[in-house]
Amino acid sequence: MSIDLNGRIALVTGASRGIGYFTALELARAGAHVIACARTVGGLEELDDAIKAVGGTATLVPFDLADMAAIDKLGGSIFERWGKLDILVANAGVLGTISPIDHVEAKVFEKVMNINVTATWRLIRSVAPLLLKSDAGRAVILSSSAAHKCKPFWGPYSASKAAVEAIARTWAGETQRTALRITSVDPGATRTAMRAQAVPGEDPSTVQHPSEVAKALLPLVAADYAETGKLFDMRQGRLVDYRLPE
């Protein structure tokens, strides 16, 4: 069944490539006007062309998530133009380095935390009032199995994704009596630049294409989606509950 997002305003970070690019494209194909954010202007322009080709519309916002002042201003700019936000897809993130935790350089650890955690929190703070103005606000926060597996040598990334999940779960609990629905997503192994950086010897054809993830995310932002505070596991193709340590 197709999902109708006509008249909805959607914000996607990390939209110039990978999961963000294809999610923005799918949202536009379904009728949403997409506010596409990324550092890479060329990638955003390519996305804009692809969105126009499917009959959609987009507003391009090139900026670096390390620019916290720009994140703070984003919510105000959206309010001035549209008065609300219906969909947030917080996708942008960085891997850092794969190395023993005591070998990670301070600047690398700080960058991972800054982009993956602090910028996500600043983004939520900036647009949360706008999502609450929607009749069916929806937020999707990209996570990773690294948040739970905590594999050796993945320390900074694992810690950042665990923190992002904690933020999303807290936010969901605080807003459960509103129309806002919040979902974390573990996309699984996906054919992205980050995956190639993490697993350089892997044949990319053996893992899913980001467009598959994008299609799976679409129901999570539909107006009739009712769950909140859960994790969508792409491998299982279903929502899962969080549990306390056993």
Q: Which residues carry out catalysis?
A: 157
The pair of structure tokens assigned to 50 is 């692809």
Angle between helices 18-29 and 41-53 (to 10 degrees): 30
184, 168, 5, 65 alpha-carbon torsion, rounded to 10°: -100
Measured over the CA atoms of residue 218, residue 36, residue 112 and residue 74, the dihedral's sign is: negative
Q: Which residue bears the tokens 């969508």?
A: 232
Angle between helices 210-217 and 18-29 (to 10 degrees): 50
DSSP codes, 62-76: E--TT-HHHHHHHHH
Closest CA to 94 of 122, 67, 66: 66
Q: What is the CB-side half-sphere exposure of residue 142 using CA atoms within 13 A?
A: 26
Q: What region does 129 belong to: left with phi over 0, alpha with psi -120 to 50, or beta?
A: alpha
DSSP codes, 7-63: T-EEEEESTTSHHHHHHHHHHHHTTPEEEEEES-HHHHHHHHHHHHHTT-EEEEEE-
